[in-house]
Amino acid sequence: MSRRPVIHKSNPATLESLGEVECVLPEEVPQMVDSARQAQAAWGGEPPVKRSQLLRKVQSGLADRTDEFAELVSRETGKPFMESLATDVMNALSVGDFAASRVEHVFRESKVDFGPLSSMMRYMGRSSHLIPRPLGVIGIIAPWNYPLAIPYSQVMMALAAGNGVVLKPSSHTPLTAVQMAGLFKEAGLPDGLLQLAVGSGSKVGEALATSDVDRIIFTGHAEVGRRIMTLASQRLIPITLELGGKDAMIILKDADLRRAARAACWGAFVNSGQTCVAVKRIYVDEAVESKFTSYLLKEVSTLKQGFDLNDPTISLGSMISERAVIDMEAQLANAVEQGAKVLAGGKRPQLKGYFFQPTVLRAEQHMDIARKETFGPIVSLMSFRSEEEAVALANDSPFALNGSVWTSDMEKGREIATRLRSGTITVNNVAYTYGLGATPWGGRGDSGFGRTHGDGGFEELIERQHVHLDRGKFSSEIWWPPYGKEGLEAMHDFTGLAFNGERDGLLQKLLKARRLMRR
């Protein structure tokens, strides 16, 4: 067997060493899937209420250690403690609470409504039932930007649905994953049900994508998502993809501009812009563009950048790596070359780690900075003259994950929201509904497909087996052999009665069919 590699983890904001985690080998992944499947056989057969009770113990464990987890997330990602607490720990608890409380509802059987055929099916003593059951083993490939919130919520949903899980966390944040897995073990989760596959995406992640799991949930960049989808398709494994974003913020002239500016500042620069639903494109009615821009720049100027867990005034942390900073520098240089104007930021601050200033640009729709994914603290300001133009500009993107509309007219805001392509649109708020466990999460286009969270997320973690019951009132069917003229006539009559509304000679036709079915 190959020698096990080790991930050495440092704080990207201070460059101090945090520890190391031993990786699994790609060839070990199939056995991990098998172990999870063996444990799932018993777990999936447990009553939903029993699964819920155990997951609530996990929730209690996390709730008792919120500061401990928030501190670890901050050290691994370089984000401020406030953000780790609000966007990682609290989001994790919120979705976990939904998963544990909703599972009994999800596993209720339902009866099929046959519509126009209902009366006929009742007469024949037949009914169809949908019986929910777990898929089996879910492979989760999680990102580094929310190393607790994303994997924890997805694991909780999968376990609540009665599945086993093999989790491949990001190599940037293995320590949070290890500590998170410990929560489940301490709560008494059956051995083997949750497997932690630490390792590189190109090796361990791809091994998971080609394994015998029953669904893959991948969160990350679009190009990697395409690669995972290609691998999973070879085994016909269904996949849920939550990929990148280029979220648009539409600000109408009747909006509360001060509040919108504060929201834009948070939405664009939370987690140093390393968020799939970070605000990247701000479209402002040209009548209020100058005023809004002034408000926004004032908000940005108040952001304190750095890393100190004892300083609650720090609002902007580091990026995840040196490569991420270099990418921001390259995108900014390209934007300026294409004609964008830098209104704020645009440089590395004089700090030790991997930092980049919060940057505001005046850009145009055709520029790369307004069209390609930007995973960092750069936001582009653009203007529009009409609501129709604003909708067209916002929809003019391959990404469609999230977005927002800002107006004092709620009906208008709702109407505009329904015309936008993204999976979630908020009116007068930004980028926070991931933490609402009851709401679905996902997009379309280059933002992926499928949903996590909400009842829609549960539907991707279970299958509803169809069971059809026939009480055997009749000894034959019209369409069973031996075929003959009388049967053919009865089949025509049946089709007319069922689908064409033909009621002439109804009683005679029914008696003929009944006679044939009792032969």
The string of pLDDT tens digits covering residues 279-301 is 999 999 999 999 999 999 999 99
Q: Cβ distance 399 to 246 under 8 Å?
A: yes
Q: Are residues 183 and 205 in the same domain?
A: yes
> Comparing C-alpha atoms, which of 96, 47, 61, 54 is closest to residue 438?
96
Q: Are residues 326 and 369 in the same domain?
A: yes
Give me the catalytic one of 28, 265, 276, 460: 276
The CA distance from 126 to 128, in Å, is 7
Q: Are residues 96 and 201 in the same domain?
A: yes
DSSP assignment letter at 498:
I
364 C-beta neighbours (distance < 10 Å), count: 15
pLDDT value at residue 512: 75
Q: Are residues 147 and 283 in the same domain?
A: no
Domain assignment of residue 382, given as a range = 247-434
Helix (H), strand (E) counts: the chain? 19, 20
Q: Is 322 a catalytic residue?
A: no
Domain-embedded: residue 389: yes
Q: Are residues 222 and 174 in the same domain?
A: yes
Average pLDDT per consecutive 10 residues, the chain (519 residues; last block may be shorter): 85 97 97 98 96 98 98 98 97 97 95 90 93 98 98 98 98 98 98 97 95 97 95 96 96 98 98 97 98 98 97 97 98 98 97 97 98 97 98 97 98 98 97 93 96 96 97 89 88 77 68 76
> Comparing C-alpha atoms, which of 283, 268, 267, 405 is closest to residue 344?
268
Provide CB contacts within 8 A for 10, sequence distance 6+: 16, 17, 18
pLDDT value at residue 476: 87
The CA distance from 462 to 455, in Å, is 11
pLDDT value at residue 494: 76
Q: Are residues 51 and 157 in the same domain?
A: yes
> Comparing C-alpha atoms, which of 82, 516, 55, 519 is closest to residue 309?
82
Provide CB contacts within 8 A for 354, sequence distance 6+: 12, 13, 78, 318, 319, 320, 321, 322, 324, 325
Domain-embedded: residue 4: no
pLDDT value at residue 507: 64
* Domain CATH number, residue 426: 3.40.309.10
Q: Are residues 362 and 214 in the same domain?
A: no
Q: Cβ distance 194 to 440 under 8 Å?
A: no
What is the 3-state composition of the chain as percent helix, strand, coil, each rounded to the nearest 5? 45, 20, 35
Domain-embedded: residue 78: yes
Q: Cβ distance 345 to 377 under 8 Å?
A: yes
Q: Are residues 340 and 423 in the same domain?
A: yes
Which two tokens mark 247?
């979220």
The string of pLDDT tens digits covering residues 324-341 is 999 999 999 999 999 999
* Domain CATH number, residue 50: 3.40.605.10
- Backbone phi, psi, residue 438, to 5°: -80, -15
What kind and span of H or E run contains 379? strand 378-384
Q: Are residues 283 and 238 in the same domain?
A: no
Q: Are residues 62 and 143 in the same domain?
A: yes
Domain-embedded: residue 290: yes
Q: Cβ distance 164 to 43 under 8 Å?
A: yes
The CA distance from 225 to 142, in Å, is 11
Q: Are residues 218 and 358 in the same domain?
A: no
Domain-embedded: residue 443: no
pLDDT value at residue 493: 80
Q: Is 265 a catalytic residue?
A: no
What kind and span of H or E run contains 230? helix 222-233
Give me the catalytic one of 242, 299, 373, 460: 242
Provide CB contacts within 8 A for 113, sequence distance 6+: none
Q: Are residues 229 and 80 in the same domain?
A: yes
Instruction: Give residue 470's Cα distance to chain centre.
Output: 40
Domain-embedded: residue 451: no
Q: Cβ distance 271 to 145 under 8 Å?
A: yes
Spatial strand order of the sheet with 137-141 comes to 194-196, 164-168, 137-141, 215-219, 239-242, 448-449
**Total number of domains in the chain:** 3
Domain-embedded: residue 5: no
Q: Which residues pair with 316 in a beta bridge?
A: 305
pLDDT value at residue 2: 59
Q: Cβ distance 159 to 133 under 8 Å?
A: no
Domain-embedded: residue 110: no
pLDDT value at residue 162: 98
